[in-house]
Structure 1
Amino acid sequence: MMGYLAKSGVTMVAVPDAISQYLQQQHVLTLCTQDQQGLWCASCFYVFDVDSMCCYLMTADNSRHTQAMVVDPIIAGTIADQTQSVLHIQGIQYTAIASRVSESESAAIRQLYCQRFPVAKVKSAPLWRLALQTVKMVDNRLGFGKKHRWQRQPD
């Protein structure tokens, strides 16, 4: 979709097509953070960049999940369709490292984010990068319990 970070020099392992297509088709993820009060989850709109295997989201500095990501950037989450049939279940479980998007990257990523979510044009919240570390996708449409996996390789 973006290819924005393809120039960053990060070596990527091939991403299964099922995973990249699913991440591009969806637009809401759930992220789970932990703070001194315990676990906390939030649902956020996101845009996905297959070249960097990152999801980008916009969230306020004063939200509980943002405050938790500042202290502990290691997060987990899910992206899932809502279906009533076990045979149609598709979804992703992931781990990621969260970081605030730098000022130098912000304008380009904000433009892409606002193309997908025009309402974001009137928001001034910061952008965050979720650098996916592990992805497990369940796709029962291909057979009960069929899974696709991807893992970021160390630099």
Structure 2
Amino acid sequence: MKSDLEKIVNFIKQHHVMSLATSAELELSVCNLFYAFDEKEVSFVVASSDETTHIQNIIKNPNVAGSVVLETKTVGKIQGLQFRGTFSILEDEALKKLYFKTFPYALAMMPKLWKIKINYFKMTDNNLGFGKKIILQEPFL
């Protein structure tokens, strides 16, 4: 039987776009980002420019929240993941390689890469029963 973390990681790896919410003082922002995910670090890797509103918010407040969802109209198939974490500049070379392996065309643009270290997951998975929730907080193991 899969652990709850394995179920969440499997869901994350089936997708590649997240919605990310940021805030700083009274400024709010939400954006969509392509991501790669590293299960050992329990971290997302994303690319974004310093000029964006969400990065300007993150410079002031690195705490973020986001979601990854399966878009479906079938109630029994609804799946979605909410997360919270800390956003920082990516310095890990292995995680940089993971991002460019996932999105090789991004190499042409050489974007600035960032890491979202996850500290909370909440997954809704109607495949496990209507409204079934899996909630995990750091430490995950």
Q: TM-score normalized by structure 2?
A: 0.90
**Residue 22 of structure 2 aligns with which residue?**
33
- Letter of the structure 2 residue corresponding to residue 30 of structure 1: S
Q: Give the aligned partner of residue 6 of structure 2.
A: 17
| 4+ aligned runs moved over 4 Å, structure 1 | none
5+ residue gaps, structure 1: 1-13
Deviation at 1:108, TM superposition (A): 3.0
The count of aligned residue pairs is: 138
- Calculate percent identity across the aligned residue pairs: 31
1:72 equivalent among 61, 64, 67: 61
Of 43, 51, 54, which aligns to 1:54?
A: 43
Task: Summarize the alignment of residues 41-120 of structure 1 with structure 2, pairs less than 5 Å apart.
Answer: 41-102=30-91, 105=92, 107-120=93-106
The equivalent residue for 1:3 is none
Query: How far does residue 74 in structure 1 lie from its aligned partner after superposition?
Result: 0.4
Structure 1 window deviating more from structure 2 (58-67 vs 33-42): it is 33-42
TM value normalised by structure 1:
0.83
Shift of 1:39: 1.6
Residue 141 of structure 1 corresponds to which residue in structure 2?
127
Aligned Cα RMSD in Å?
1.7
The unaligned stretches of length 5 or more in structure 2 are: none
| 1:125 Cα offset (Å) | 2.0
Most deviating of 53-62 and 17-26: 17-26
SS at match of 2:64: strand
Q: C-alpha distance in 1, partners of 2:41/2:53? A: 26
Cα distance in 2, alignment partners of residues 60 and 136 from structure 1 = 28
